[in-house]
Amino acid sequence: MERKNTWETYNEAQLKELETLNEGYREFLDNSKTERECIDTIVNTVEAAGYKELETLIAEGKTLKKGDKVYSVWMNKSIAMFQIGTKPMTEGMNILGAHIDSPRLDIKQNPLYEDGGFAYLDTHYYGGVKKYQWVTIPLALHGVVVKKDGTTIELNVGENEDDPVFFISDLLIHLSQEQLEKKAAKVIEGEALDLIVGNKPIKVGPKAEDKNADGKKETVKEAVKAGILDILKNQYDMEEEDFISAELEVVPAGKAREAGFDRSIILSYGQDDRVCAYTSLMAMLDTKETERTMCCILVDKEEIGSVGATGMQSRFFENAVAEVMNLCGEYSELNVRRCLARCCMLSSDVSSAYDPSYAGSFDKKNVAYLGGGMVLNKFTGSRGKSGSNDANAEYLAHIRKIYEEAGVNFQTAELGKVDLGGGGTIAYILALYGMNVIDSGVAVLNMHAPWEATSKADVYETYRGYRAFVEKAGM
Q: What is the pLDDT of residues 285-325, one digit of tens each?
A: 999 989 999 999 999 999 999 999 999 999 999 999 999 99
Distance, first Cα to last Cα, the chain: 27
Phi, psi of 159 (to 5 degrees): -100, -35
Residue type, 436: N
Architecture field, domain 6-102+269-472:
3-Layer(aba) Sandwich (3.40)
Distance of alpha carbon 196 from alpha carbon 175, whole angstroms = 20
Mean pLDDT of 312-341: 97
Distance of alpha carbon 231 from alpha carbon 357, whole angstroms = 46
- Per-residue model confidence (pLDDT) at position 213: 54
Mean pLDDT of 39-55: 97
CB 74 within 8 A of CB 323: no
- Per-residue model confidence (pLDDT) at position 380: 80
The confidence band for 217, taking pLDDT boundaries of 50, 70 and 90, is low
Does the pLDDT of residue 208 top 50, yes or no? no
Q: Which of 469, 343, 475, 454 is nearest to 6 (CA)?
A: 454
Distance of alpha carbon 81 from alpha carbon 61, whole angstroms = 19
Q: What is the pLDDT of residues 140-156, one digit of tens each?
A: 999 999 999 999 999 99
CB 42 within 8 A of CB 278: no
Does the pLDDT of residue 396 top 80, yes or no? yes
The confidence band for 205, taking pLDDT boundaries of 50, 70 and 90, is low
Across the strands, what pairs with 80? 72, 297
Q: Which residue has the higher pLDDT, 433 or 209?
A: 433
Does the pLDDT of residue 211 top 80, yes or no? no
Distance of alpha carbon 362 from alpha carbon 355, whole angstroms = 8
Which ranges constitute the DSSP H helices of 128-222? 184-187
Phi, psi of 296 (to 5 degrees): -130, 120
- Per-residue model confidence (pLDDT) at position 417: 79
Mean pLDDT score of the chain: 93
The confidence band for 454, taking pLDDT boundaries of 50, 70 and 90, is very high
- Per-residue model confidence (pLDDT) at position 301: 95
Quick one: what percent of the chain has pLDDT higher than 90?
A: 86
Q: What is the pLDDT of residues 99-139, one digit of tens each?
A: 999 999 999 999 999 999 999 999 999 999 999 999 999 99
The confidence band for 233, taking pLDDT boundaries of 50, 70 and 90, is very high
Q: Which residue has the higher pLDDT, 273 or 388?
A: 273
Domain ranges of the chain: 6-102+269-472, 104-252
- Per-residue model confidence (pLDDT) at position 83: 97
pTM listed for this prediction: 0.94
Across the strands, what pairs with 154? 144
| CATH code of the region 104-252 | 2.30.250.10
Q: For residue 84, how many C-alpha atoms fall within 13 Å in the half-sphere facing its CB? A: 22
Distance of alpha carbon 278 from alpha carbon 281, whole angstroms = 5
